[in-house]
């Protein structure tokens, strides 16, 4: 599974310095959350054999759309229990905030590494300062 990758998403209204800090924190958060789960073979495989990350810049309104696209892609359709879908999503992404910007605003979102991504993710613009 050397083709698995993580996505780090930065809203386009986040100033460059906060964005850089947010991306760094996203990497640390991944290691702390998913690297400490000894039973997470997929994350361990990614960390040892791939370590690919894609860092993208999106309009803030797209953050919810990305969550929805991933949920649909992973089988959480319209009939799914909303609470269960939110719990699943919270296990597959981390929201990074910055207390010194925008009253603790979101500066990055990192999605757990996987091989199969929704088309919407694959079409995102790479972060380019």
Look at residue 104 in the predicted model and tell me its pLDDT: 85
Q: Is residue 128 part of a domain?
A: no
Q: Which domain holds residue 28?
A: 5-122
How many domains, in total, are found in the chain? 1
Q: Is residue 84 part of a domain?
A: yes
Q: Is residue 127 part of a domain?
A: no
Look at residue 19 in the predicted model and tell me its pLDDT: 97
**CB–CB of 23/55 below 8 Å?**
yes
Q: Is residue 129 part of a domain?
A: no
Cα separation, 89 vs 68, whole angstroms: 9
Contact partners, residue 93, CB within 8 Å, separation at least 6: 67, 70, 109, 110, 111, 112
Q: Is residue 113 part of a domain?
A: yes
- Reference 33, options 94, 106, 101; nearest CA is 94
Percent share of the chain, pLDDT over 90 = 75
Residues 38-84 have pLDDT tens digits of 778 888 889 999 999 999 999 999 999 999 999 999 988 777 788 89
pTM: 0.92
Q: Is residue 116 part of a domain?
A: yes
Q: Is residue 54 part of a domain?
A: yes
Residues 9-47 have pLDDT tens digits of 999 999 999 999 999 999 999 999 998 877 788 888 899
């Amino acid at each position: 599974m050397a083709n698995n990758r993580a996505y780090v998403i930065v809203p386009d209204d986040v100033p460059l310095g906060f964005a850089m800090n947010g991306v760094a924190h996203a990497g640390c958060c991944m290691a702390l959350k998913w690297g400490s789960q000894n039973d997470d073979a997929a994350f361990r495989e990614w960390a040892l054999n791939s370590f690919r990350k894609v860092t993208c810049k999106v309009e803030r309104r797209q953050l919810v759309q990305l969550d929805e696209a991933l949920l649909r892609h992973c089988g959480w359709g319209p009939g799914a229990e909303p609470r269960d879908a939110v719990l699943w999503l919270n296990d597959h992404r981390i929201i990074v905030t910055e207390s010194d910007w925008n009253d603790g605003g979101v500066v990055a979102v990192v999605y757990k590494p996987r091989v199969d991504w929704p088309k919407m993710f694959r079409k995102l613009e790479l972060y380019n300062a």
